[in-house]
Amino acid sequence: MVDLPYRDGRAGIDAGLVRRLLASQFPRWAGLSVTPVEVDGWDNRTYRLGDDLTVRLPTGAGYAPAVRKEHTWLPVLAPSLPVPVPVSLALGVPGEGYPFHWSVRRWLDGRTASPDRIEDMAGFAVSIADFLRALRRVDATGGPTAGAHSFHRGTSPAHYDDGTRRALAALEGRIDVERAAAVWDDALRAPEWSEPPVWFHGDTSGNLLVDGGKLVAVIDFGTCGVGDPACDLVIAWTMFSGESRRVFREAVGLDDATWARARGWALWKALITLAEGNEQSRHVIDEVLADAP
Give the pLDDT score at 210. Answer: 97
3-state secondary structure of 268: helix
Local structure of residue 192 (DSSP, 8 states): P
Task: Give domain limits for the chain.
Answer: 15-108, 112-291
- CA-based torsion, 38, 43, 48, 53: positive or negative: negative
Q: Is there a common fold for 15-108 and 112-291?
A: no
- Rounded to whole angstroms, the Cα distance separating 189 from 68 reads 35
Question: 258, 234 in Cβ contact below 8 A?
Answer: no
Closest CA to 87 of 229, 195, 221: 221
Give the pLDDT score at 221. Answer: 96
Local structure of residue 250 (DSSP, 8 states): H
The CATH number assigned to the domain with range 112-291 reads: 3.90.1200.10
Burial class (CB in 10 A: 0-12, 13-18, 19+), 267: buried
Question: 84, 29 in Cβ contact below 8 A?
Answer: no
Low-confidence ranges of the chain (pLDDT < 50): 1-4, 7-10
Local structure of residue 275 (DSSP, 8 states): H
Give the up-direction half-sphere exposure of residue 80: CA atoms within 13 A in the CB hemisphere.
15
Give the pLDDT score at 8. Answer: 45
Give the pLDDT score at 30. Answer: 95
Give the pLDDT score at 12. Answer: 72
CATH class of 15-108: alpha beta
